[in-house]
Amino acid sequence: MTRRAIIAGTGSALPVRRVSNEELARTVDTSDEWIVERTGIRYRYIAGENETTGTLATEAARRALDAAGIAPEQVKLIVLATATPDQTFPSTATKVQTALGIADCVAFDVQAVCSGFLYALGVAESMIRGGTADVALVIGSETFSRILDWEDRATCVLFGDGAGAVVLKAEEGERGVLSVKLHADGRHNQLLYVDGGPSTTGTVGKLRMKGSEVFRHAVVNLATVLGETLEAVGLSAEDVDWVVPHQANRRILDATARKLGLPPEKVIITVDRHANTSAASVPLALDEAVRDGRIKRGDLLVLEAMGGGFTWGAAAVRY
Ligand code: UT7
């Protein structure tokens, strides 16, 4: 039997405040019509003063642990994906550790922007297979609202805040994470970046994006990595029960599914209500579809994401 990391539970958390396109259009030169037509986004959640990447991550992690029936002290590894940590250091993962009352475990952050959850899943899964831990929390949490230029209509309407988490548990058998494929190509740094940082400007900076160029790369890279991930486990698009994609733009989701010949009904969509929550979007979508009963035990899931760097990746999971 093969030792694998199974998804034992999922959880998510959103800020209290929901903001509609109409509300944004009162302060930015945009319209509900433009945003819906070009992106599919209708709402996003924006963190309040007391809500941070760390608090949202903790809430999502608690829900995932409850769903898995696992106590915090059983967690031996926390991998948290974020590009918007509470502080430059210490890691937000150690903040979650403390908030959950876990005395000792391995805890660190992973930075791969919108692909962060896939990277974190890949790292945690291989650490579980290698024997570092039997139980891990893998979290994607972001407060992109804090790094948006609220005067740049081309970016500020696209993002939102939130967190999602999964509990991974070592188990022998057929279920679990079957394959994770990750990529990066730093030649495209300048297409999606933040114009500040501790070692350059000494400031946090604001998000900058050449949206239409990112769009072009996204469809090609995502379709390719999904094919690669399925091929690695000897499966094809017809075997897939659910696609759980990064939620950047409804048009990217539709185009990627078309390219792979996957019917749109198999794609979990949350971009309309959450907007782009970067590393949080895949686990947020996963948790929603698990809780509403669409995703069932034994289903074959493919998770995928693409983001700044560029980074991109996909995973095949027997849920
Ligand atoms: O999560 C990481 C990965 N990120 C992504 O995957 C994002 C990928 N990119 C996209 O989703 C799309 O490219 C966008 C939604 C960002 C933009 O859609 P687009 O169809 O590529 O539009 P565009 O950037 O080519 O802009 C078209 C027009 C421009 O006006 P002109 O120059 O044609 O007169 C923009 O100024 O739309 C204008 N525009 C807006 N108009 C109203 C840009 N933003 C807005 C806005 N409201 N918010």
Looking at residues 294-299, what average pLDDT do you find?
Answer: 98
- Phi, psi (5° rounding) for residue 148? -90, 145
Share of the chain above pLDDT 90, in %: 98
Distance 105 CA to ligand 1 centre (A): 43
Q: Give the list of residues 6+ apart from residue 292 with CB closer than 8 angstroms, or none.
A: none
Task: Indicate the average pLDDT of the chain.
Answer: 97
- Phi, psi (5° rounding) for residue 62? -60, -45
- State yes or no: is 246 an active-site residue: yes
Q: Name the closest-CA residue to atom 36, ligand 1.
A: 154
Do 145 and 286 fall into the same domain?
A: no
* Contact 53 CB / ligand 1 (< 6 Å): no
Do 122 and 26 fall into the same domain?
A: yes
Distance 200 CA to ligand 1 centre (A): 28
Q: What is the pLDDT of residues 97-149, one digit of tens each?
A: 999 999 999 999 999 999 999 999 999 999 999 999 999 999 999 999 999 99
Exactly one of 21, 105, 114, 274 is catalytic; which is it? 114
Q: Which helix (H) or strand (E) holds 35?
A: helix 32-39
Strand order in the sheet with 77-81: 3-13, 161-172, 135-143, 77-81, 106-110
Do 103 and 228 fall into the same domain?
A: no
Q: Name the closest-CA residue to atom 40, ligand 1.
A: 154
In the three-class reduction of DSSP (H, G, I as helix; E, B as strand; rest coil), residue 307 is classed as strand
Do 164 and 209 fall into the same domain?
A: no
First to last CA, the chain: 17
* Contact 108 CB / ligand 1 (< 6 Å): no
Name beta bridge partners: 300.
318
Tokens of 156: 């500020």
- State yes or no: is 114 an active-site residue: yes
Q: What is the pLDDT of residue 179?
A: 97
Q: Which domain holds residue 198?
A: 177-318
Do 28 and 50 fall into the same domain?
A: yes
Tell which of 143, 173, 203 closes a domain: 173
Other Cβ atoms closer than 10 A to 121: 30
* Contact 214 CB / ligand 1 (< 6 Å): yes
Tell which of 139, 173, 207 closes a domain: 173
Nearest Cα neighbor of 128 from 92, 165, 177 is 177
Nearest Cα neighbor of 93 from 71, 75, 113 is 75
Distance 231 CA to ligand 1 centre (A): 34
Tell which of 116, 138, 173 closes a domain: 173
Do 49 and 156 fall into the same domain?
A: yes
- CATH number, domain of 31, equals 3.40.47.10
* Total domain count, the chain: 2
Q: What is the pLDDT of residues 31-43, one digit of tens each?
A: 999 999 999 999 9
pLDDT band per the 50, 70, 90 thresholds, residue 1: confident
Distance 211 CA to ligand 1 centre (A): 6
Distance 197 CA to ligand 1 centre (A): 25
Do 25 and 158 fall into the same domain?
A: yes
Do 37 and 163 fall into the same domain?
A: yes
Looking at residues 180-207, what average pLDDT do you find?
Answer: 98
Q: State the DSSP code for 166.
A: E
Do 189 and 134 fall into the same domain?
A: no
Do 152 and 38 fall into the same domain?
A: yes
Tokens of 220: 């090609």
Mutate which of 26, 156, 212, 252 to test ligand 1's pocket (most atoms within 8 Å of Cβ)?
212
Do 131 and 204 fall into the same domain?
A: no
Q: What is the pLDDT of residues 235-276, one digit of tens each?
A: 999 999 999 999 999 999 999 999 889 999 999 999 999 999
Do 201 and 259 fall into the same domain?
A: yes
Mutate which of 215, 217, 284 to test ligand 1's pocket (most atoms within 8 Å of Cβ)?
215
Exactly one of 221, 246, 249, 274 is catalytic; which is it? 246
* Contact 256 CB / ligand 1 (< 6 Å): no
